[in-house]
């Protein structure tokens, strides 16, 4: 089987005992006609996650390959080391709290087999809560088709990480050079889209579990995300100066102001608003946010009102 593995499903997990079994079974039960392996990188969990993985690996020994860390290595290293161990022609990323629907791998492999200019394939996902209830019908709806680097920069990212399947053509050197302790998914997406287009499937082929991952830390936007965003845009603009991309940069930073306001973080809502305007003017929304910065409380109240209106529309 090792000689003809089509897909390596790489699952990263840490202390997700309530989710890991359903996650793994959603992969085991994939409806496809090719061989795939499941690599599960457990980052030294202490809540029983590791033991549950071992139980399932004993039940499905030809499919599940546990990678059990002896010490906590962190999310980034856990992911990168899994990718380096993958034997498949393609790699499917899956967080340990998310789910696949049964035709996901079959549909994405078919796209990658038939479209050689595409480097990775993504899809829409339903958004669920900790109990598995759907709280949002769509993670982010986009028309089906091919997208490029500017499309990615216009909305970092426009897909959930757990929807991504990419070509396994990069060796250890690529991953070693990319790795740093605060590496996040958007940096990997950015480096890989340089190798080929993204094909996005407008179908919900999985479930994304909201408010569980690293996006929010201590009820604030995790600072490693805007840090990565700055790195991506400054690197791009250094090589290819562009007014359009500069506006996208300002828009991306303003999005962190919005997220901070939703979380009630008045200070960072103000700081990201000011930073966005300094990068460059792109819309009247920026001016509204900047004006309200004189009263951070008023800014966060305004953002929460807008957020509630958006949620009601959905």
Residue where one domain finishes, among candidates 209, 226, 243: 209
Res. 1: pLDDT tops 80 = no
Q: Which domain holds residue 101?
A: 2-209
Q: Do residue 202 and residue 244 come from a single domain?
A: no
Q: Do residue 179 and residue 252 come from a single domain?
A: no
Q: Do residue 64 and residue 167 come from a single domain?
A: yes
Res. 214: pLDDT tops 60 = no
Mean pLDDT, the chain, integer: 94
Phi, psi of 242 (to 5 degrees): -155, 125
The residue with greater pLDDT, 118 or 212, is: 118
Q: What is the pLDDT of residue 54?
A: 98
Q: Do residue 11 and residue 131 come from a single domain?
A: yes
Mean pLDDT calculated for residue range 180-185:
94
- Of 17-21, 87-91, 97-101, 127-131, minimum mean pLDDT range: 127-131
Residue with tokens 């089509």, as numbered in its chain: 6
SS3 of residue 146 by DSSP = strand
Angle, helices 49-59 vs 20-28, to 10°: value is 20
Q: What is the pLDDT of residue 110?
A: 98
The pLDDT tens digits of the residues spanning 50-98 come to 999 999 999 999 999 999 999 999 999 999 999 999 999 999 999 999 9
Tokens of 132: 């598995």
Q: Do residue 18 and residue 151 come from a single domain?
A: yes
Q: Do residue 226 and residue 158 come from a single domain?
A: no
Q: Do residue 40 and residue 152 come from a single domain?
A: yes
Q: Do residue 120 and residue 45 come from a single domain?
A: yes
Q: What is the pLDDT of residue 148?
A: 97
Q: What is the pLDDT of residue 314?
A: 58
Tokens of 31: 């409806």
Residue where one domain finishes, among candidates 151, 180, 209: 209
**What percent of the chain stands above pLDDT 90?**
88
Mean pLDDT calculated for residue range 105-111:
98
Q: What is the pLDDT of residue 104?
A: 98
- Cβ within 8 Å of residue 231, ≥6 positions away: 187
Res. 295: pLDDT tops 80 = yes
Cβ contact 91:166 at 8 Å: yes
Mean pLDDT calculated for residue range 260-282:
95
Q: Do residue 203 and residue 307 come from a single domain?
A: no
Number of domains in the chain: 2
Q: Is the pTM of this model over 0.75?
A: yes
DSSP code of residue 183: -
Q: Do residue 110 and residue 238 come from a single domain?
A: no
Mean pLDDT calculated for residue range 273-295:
95
The pLDDT tens digits of the residues spanning 226-259 come to 999 999 999 999 999 999 999 999 999 999 999 9
Q: Do residue 81 and residue 171 come from a single domain?
A: yes
Query: In the structure, what pLDDT confidence band is assigned to residue 109 with cuts at 50, 70 and 90?
Result: very high
Residue where one domain finishes, among candidates 175, 191, 209: 209
Q: Do residue 146 and residue 263 come from a single domain?
A: no
């Amino acid at each position: 089987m090792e000689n003809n593995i089509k897909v390596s499903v790489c699952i990263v997990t840490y202390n997700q005992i309530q989710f890991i079994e359903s996650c793994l079974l959603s992969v085991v039960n994939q409806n496809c006609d090719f061989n795939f392996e499941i690599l599960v990188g457990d980052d030294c969990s202490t809540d029983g996650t590791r033991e549950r993985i071992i139980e399932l690996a004993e039940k499905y020994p030809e499919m599940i390959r546990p990678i059990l860390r002896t010490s906590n290595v962190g999310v980034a290293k856990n992911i990168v080391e899994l990718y380096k161990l993958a034997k498949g022609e393609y790699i499917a990323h899956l967080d340990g709290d998310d789910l696949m629907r049964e035709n996901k791998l079959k549909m994405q492999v078919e796209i990658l087999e038939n479209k050689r200019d595409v480097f990775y394939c993504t899809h829409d996902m339903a958004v669920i809560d900790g109990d598995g209830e759907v709280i949002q019908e769509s993670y982010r709806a986009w028309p089906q088709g091919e997208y490029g680097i500017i499309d990615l920069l216009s909305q970092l990212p426009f897909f959930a990480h757990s929807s991504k399947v990419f070509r396994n053509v990069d060796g250890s050197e690529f991953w070693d050079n990319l790795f740093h302790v605060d590496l996040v998914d958007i940096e990997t997406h950015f480096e890989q889209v340089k190798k080929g287009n993204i094909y996005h499937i407008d179908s919900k082929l999985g479930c994304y579990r909201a408010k569980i991952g690293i996006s929010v830390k201590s009820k604030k936007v995790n600072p490693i995300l805007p840090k990565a965003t700055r790195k991506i845009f400054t690197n791009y603009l250094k090589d290819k100066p562009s007014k359009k991309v500069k506006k996208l940069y300002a828009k991306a930073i303003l999005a962190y102001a919005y997220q901070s306001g939703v979380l009630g973080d008045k200070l960072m809502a103000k700081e990201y608003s000011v930073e966005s305007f300094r990068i460059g003017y792109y819309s009247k929304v920026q001016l509204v946010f900047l004006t309200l910065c004189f009263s951070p409380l008023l800014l966060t109240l305004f953002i929460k009102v807008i957020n509630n209106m958006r949620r009601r529309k959905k």
